[in-house]
Amino acid sequence: MAVMMYWEAIRRAHDEEMTRDPLVICMGEDIGVAGGTYKATQGLYDKYGPERVIDTPISENSYTGLGIGASFLGVRPIIEIMSVNFAWLATDQIFNSAAKVRYMSGGQLTAPVVIRSPGGTAHQLGAQHSARMEKVFMGVAGLRVVTPSSPKQAYGMLKSAVRCDDPVFIYEHELMYNMKGEVPDAEYFHPLEGSEVTRSGKDVTLFGYNISVHWCMQAAEQLAKNGIDCEVIDLYTLSPLDRAGIQKSVSKTHRAVVVEEAEAAVGVGSEVMAIINEECFFDLDAAPVRVSAVNVPIPYNHRLEKATIPNAKSVMAAVRKLLGK
Amino acid sequence: MARADSFADGNSITPPPRQFGQARRVAHFEIKYLQYLNHLGEVAEELPEFAQERGQLLALYRAMVLTRTFDKKAIALQRTGKLGTYASSLGQEAAAVGVGAAMAKQDVLLPAYREYGAQFLRGVSMTEILLYWGGDERGMNYGAQAEDFPICVPIATHAPHAVGVAYAMKLRGQARVAVCALGDGATSKGDFYEAVNIAGAWQLPLVFIVNNNQWAISVSRAAQTRAETLAQKAIAAGIPGEQVDGNDVIAVRERVAQALDTARHGGGPRLIEALTYRMGDHTTADDASRYRPGDEVEQQRQYDPIARLHKYLARCGEWSQQQDDALYAECEAKVDAAVKDYLATPAVAPESMFDYLYEKLPVALRTQRESLSSQGESGNG
Ligand SMILES: Cc1ncc(C[n+]2csc(CCOP(=O)(O)OP(=O)(O)O)c2C)c(N)n1
Ligand SMILES: [Mg+2]
């Protein structure tokens, strides 16, 4: 297995899929000549040319719409939206067209389009460039939403998403592009449904996804030193959420903490807690807890920005409180 | 029947009945291009009235030199870790200063993020701009120009706002004009087209300034649109569009003043495309050499807006080298003072993030606020 960075893994998936199928294309702002804001398409412009690696005008709703339109005719577009904050502009196309066309056409039309976009707080991107709004996307029927927490997932999910006949939204993270990890040398397809037990434990389940899996793992390692045995579940599929996986783990540990970088309201935590209530309420030894961001727009100021979002320490504090230790 | 809509023009645009297959000429246009001083600092066209006055020209020159001095310093601060990502206005000083000088105090500027030259003339302080790029929202709270809009980074999202501002001015019967500055790349966005369209339909007091600096990060002007000019995008919306030499501060100042005058007196909106060039990287987080040929930048140097006015002033015998040196020294001192203020601004308290969120903080959020202030300096991080 080769160790590579998250961005390299994404680039590799693009490259393999574009080599395999001439109808796989990619497009977005600054992805061609410049190789992408996060290097995810580096070198592809030279290799596949401007017709398949397209630098689009700044027209988020239109190029997403045109990608969706092209996908009706068998093209497999991978659309990079530079930041989730600009994906707002394309939500009409994603929600009202891509997610609904199969249903409304009785299966005649499909929108096998992949939309990749990074969100999250990074280093002082300010309120309008720090969205963590995966919760909005996961609430839309007809859309698949996945979110890689490692280079291996980033690679395998993109591969699967390109082959998938449904529209897939891949939520990446601004801070994770340079993260290193092992990626199989052989072609690998990561499932677009389910969840993964990243660490097995018996005292409490920590649910995370994308970057918050890492906070959960750091917290679990620290807590293990104090004899607290955490299970960590990576909810890499946000839609549809893995009900069975959530139920199985909580029925075993009897306690749950859900960790997300976003504000709590109407979020991943709310949804996971609702599933716990519906699936395994009587297995609980304590009320589930959410660890989430403060309810403010992300401040530009570095200190304030850091104070707004959770981290491994806040996860540890929540676990200790839950266990009364 | 004509609609009794006070914002619609009232004049009929219904075409006459036509035969099948008959072609009729509808919109036709020419795009005017205006320049008073050419790049050698020579008079290309008889100077407008204001530019006959030495004091007025010197004021423009000073404002451009100050803007450039500020820009240099801001980049240096970023390189030494004292400022966040910064968008340089190098090479585009005239396009901003001309706008700021033409506007009246009561007008409203809706800038993108390279119009410091206009903002300074409107009373926004250098310290405020530094605070903003230093990651401090207090820098967007302009002391001297409270109704001007903050810097807008989400591209073209302020274009509909500008339409709303102009609508409010018209509704309230005010003799004011909204000025919306945006880039060449911004003209590809739906927000832009929709805003230009409504401004035309409702004949609003609004001037769009398209700062065509030839690049949108790595995407060239040619890759952005097949339209020969960006000014002509206004024509389809039924409003006049024109080009000016954006590196000729006299032309920018003059044409913007004309457009403002028309708009202020009920003559409707206008779009001015200022042809200029982004001499620097897109921002300090960018390296333009990845996608932009170096000789293109070299080639553009000869059109520099500051050198051009300097040549003219010197040729007229109005400006000596000593005066120029003194001006640069004066600007340095002003910028240094602003930097000092910026660096000495006390850090903002974490709980302040709640203070401007709602008019009155909801009870449910008070606990979050209290938990933050009790964690003190370190926050939860
Ligand atoms: C809606 C939106 N999409 C993408 C971006 C990322 N972005 C920031 S600046 C920029 C280029 C803008 O080019 P232009 O309008 O020509 O202005 P310039 O930077 O050249 O002054 C892009 C694509 C953004 N800020 N907002
Ligand atoms: Mg531009």
CATH classification of the domain holding A274: 3.40.50.920
CB contacts under 8 A, A 41-100 vs B, are 55, 57-62, 85-86, 89
The superfamily in CATH containing domain B33-347 is Thiamin diphosphate (ThDP)-binding fold, Pyr/PP domains (3.40.50.970)
Q: Given this model, what pLDDT does residue B351 score? A: 87
The single residue listed with the structure tokens 């701009």 is B129
B48 in A contact zone (CB under 8 Å) = no
Distance A316 CA to ligand 2 centre (A): 47
Look at residue B377 and tell me whether its pLDDT is greater than 80: no
Q: Do A303 and B224 touch (CB under 8 A)?
A: no
Q: Percent of chain B at pLDDT above 90?
A: 81
Q: Given this model, what pLDDT does residue B13 score? A: 61
User: Which atom from ligand 1 is nearest to the alpha carbon of B184?
Assistant: 16
Distance A54 CA to ligand 1 centre (A): 17
Q: Is residue A190 part of a domain?
A: no
Which positions ≥6 away from B351 have C-beta within 8 Å?
A: B369, B370, B372, B373
Q: Is residue A94 part of a domain?
A: yes
Q: Which residue has better confidence, A186 or B354?
A: A186
* B306 — pLDDT class (breaks 50, 70, 90): very high
Task: Decide: A134 in ligand 1 pocket, CB within 6 A.
Answer: no
CB contacts < 8 A, A to B, total 102
In this complex, which of B132, B291, B379 lies closest to A303 when CB atoms are compared? B379
Q: Given this model, what pLDDT does residue B365 score? A: 87
User: Which atom from ligand 1 is nearest to the alpha carbon of A30?
Assistant: 23
Distance B113 CA to ligand 1 centre (A): 10
In this complex, which of B154, B185, B290 lies closest to A34 when CB atoms are compared? B290
| Mean local confidence (pLDDT), B281-302 | 96
Is B301 a known active-site residue?
Answer: no
* B2 — pLDDT class (breaks 50, 70, 90): very low
In this complex, which of B84, B132, B186 lies closest to A58 when CB atoms are compared? B186
Distance B215 CA to ligand 1 centre (A): 9
Which ligand has the minimum distance to the alpha carbon of residue A58? 1
**CA of B213 to nearest chain A CA: how many angstroms apart?**
15
Residue among A254, A147, A132 at smallest CA distance from A195? A147
Look at residue A58 and tell me whether its pLDDT is greater than 90: yes
CA angle (B193, A85, B157) in 5-degree steps: 25
Which of A162, A183, A204 marks a domain boundary?
A183
Let me know whether A205 and A309 are in one domain: yes
**CA of B381 to nearest chain A CA: how many angstroms apart?**
6
Task: Decide: A34 in ligand 1 pocket, CB within 6 A.
Answer: no
Q: Percent of chain A at pLDDT above 70?
A: 100
**CA of A232 to nearest chain B CA: how many angstroms apart?**
21
| Mean local confidence (pLDDT), B126-150 | 92
Which of A135, A157, A183 marks a domain boundary?
A183
- φ/ψ of B211, rounded to 5, equals -85, 90
Buried b (16+ CB within 10 A) or exposed e, B284-308: bebebeebbeeeebeebeebbbbeb
| Structure tokens, B296 | 């293109």
The single residue listed with the structure tokens 């060239």 is B220
**Annotated domain spans of chain B:** 33-347, 349-381
* B12 — pLDDT class (breaks 50, 70, 90): low
* Total of domains in chain A: 2
Q: Is residue A191 part of a domain?
A: no
User: Burial, B282: exposed, middle or buried (Cβ in 10 Å; 0-12, 13-18, 19+)?
Assistant: buried
Q: Which residue has better confidence, B146 or B194?
A: B194
CB contacts under 8 A, B 142-161 vs A, are 153-156
Q: How far apart are CA B157 and CA A202, in angstroms?
A: 50
Q: Do A304 and B379 touch (CB under 8 A)?
A: yes
| Mean local confidence (pLDDT), B116-136 | 97
Let me know whether A162 and A123 are in one domain: yes
Task: Decide: B308 in ligand 1 pocket, CB within 6 A.
Answer: no
Task: Say if CB B97 and CB B64 are below 8 A apart.
Answer: yes
Q: How far apart are CA A117 and CA A165, in angstroms?
A: 19
Name which residue sits closest to atom 7 of ligand 1, judged by CA. B155
**CA of B378 to nearest chain A CA: how many angstroms apart?**
8
Looking at this predicted complex, what is its ipTM?
0.83
Let me know whether A213 and A175 are in one domain: no
Report the predicted TM-score, pTM, of the whole model to 2 decimal places: 0.90
Task: Decide: B279 in ligand 1 pocket, CB within 6 A.
Answer: no
The single residue listed with the structure tokens 């040319």 is A49
Task: Say if CB B56 and CB B109 are below 8 A apart.
Answer: no
Let me know whether A173 and A257 are in one domain: no
List residues of A with catalytic annotation.
60, 129
Residue numbers in A near B135 (CB within 8 A): 124, 126, 300-302, 305
Question: Could you tell me how many residues make up chain A?
Answer: 325
Alpha carbon separation from A301 to A85, A95, A130, B59 (Å, rounded) = 19, 33, 12, 35
Closest-approach residue (CA) in chain A for B286: A37
Domain CATH for A73: 3.40.50.970
Domain that holds residue A257: 196-323
| Structure tokens, B271 | 């779009």
Name which residue sits closest to atom 11 of ligand 1, judged by CA. B216
Q: Is residue A188 part of a domain?
A: no
Name which residue sits closest to atom 12 of ligand 1, judged by CA. B216
| Mean local confidence (pLDDT), B192-210 | 97
CB contacts under 8 A, B 85-104 vs A, are 85
Q: Given this model, what pLDDT does residue A308 score? A: 94
Cis amide leading into A240 (omega within 30) = yes
Closest-approach residue (CA) in chain A for B132: A300
Question: Could you tell me how many residues make up chain B?
Answer: 381
Task: Decide: A58 in ligand 1 pocket, CB within 6 A.
Answer: yes
Task: Say if CB A61 and CB A90 are below 8 A apart.
Answer: yes
Residue among A261, A263, A241, A244 at smallest CA distance from A252? A244
Let me know whether A140 and A244 are in one domain: no
Task: Decide: B335 in ligand 1 pocket, CB within 6 A.
Answer: no
- pLDDT tens-digit readout, B235-273: 999 999 999 999 999 999 999 999 999 999 999 999 999
- pLDDT tens-digit readout, A248-302: 999 999 999 999 999 999 999 999 999 999 999 999 999 999 999 999 999 999 9
CB contacts under 8 A, B 172-191 vs A, are 185-186, 188-190
CA angle (B281, B283, B284) in 5-degree steps: 90
* A135 — pLDDT class (breaks 50, 70, 90): very high
Q: Do B350 and A304 touch (CB under 8 A)?
A: yes
Distance B117 CA to ligand 1 centre (A): 19
- φ/ψ of B90, rounded to 5, equals -55, 125
Which of A130, A155, A183 marks a domain boundary?
A183
| Structure tokens, B252 | 């920018």
Q: Is residue A285 part of a domain?
A: yes
Q: Given this model, what pLDDT does residue A39 score? A: 97
- pLDDT tens-digit readout, A199-208: 999 999 999 9
Let me know whether A44 and A151 are in one domain: yes
- pLDDT tens-digit readout, A77-130: 999 999 999 999 999 999 999 999 999 888 888 999 999 999 999 989 999 999
Q: Do A58 and B185 touch (CB under 8 A)?
A: yes
Q: Given this model, what pLDDT does residue B144 score? A: 87
* B372 — pLDDT class (breaks 50, 70, 90): confident
Q: Can you list the alpha helix ranges (DSSP code H) found in chain A?
A: 6-20, 44-48, 60-72, 84-87, 91, 101-104, 134-138, 151-163, 211-224, 243-253, 268-280, 302-308, 312-323
| Structure tokens, B152 | 């807008």
**CA of B87 to nearest chain A CA: how many angstroms apart?**
13
Q: Given this model, what pLDDT does residue B3 score? A: 45
Q: Is residue A8 part of a domain?
A: yes
Query: Catalytic: which of B176, B264, B270, B278?
Result: B278
Q: What is the mean pLDDT of chain A?
A: 96
Residue among B316, B335, B308 at smallest CA distance from B60? B308
User: Which atom from ligand 1 is nearest to the alpha carbon of B182?
Assistant: 15
Query: Catalytic: which of B264, B282, B308, B312?
Result: B282
Least confident of A66-80, A234-248, B107-121: A66-80
Residue among A258, A267, A266 at smallest CA distance from A235? A258
Q: Do A30 and B348 touch (CB under 8 A)?
A: no
Closest-approach residue (CA) in chain B for A299: B353
| Mean local confidence (pLDDT), A237-245 | 97
Q: Do A35 and B290 touch (CB under 8 A)?
A: yes
Let me know whether A150 and A216 are in one domain: no
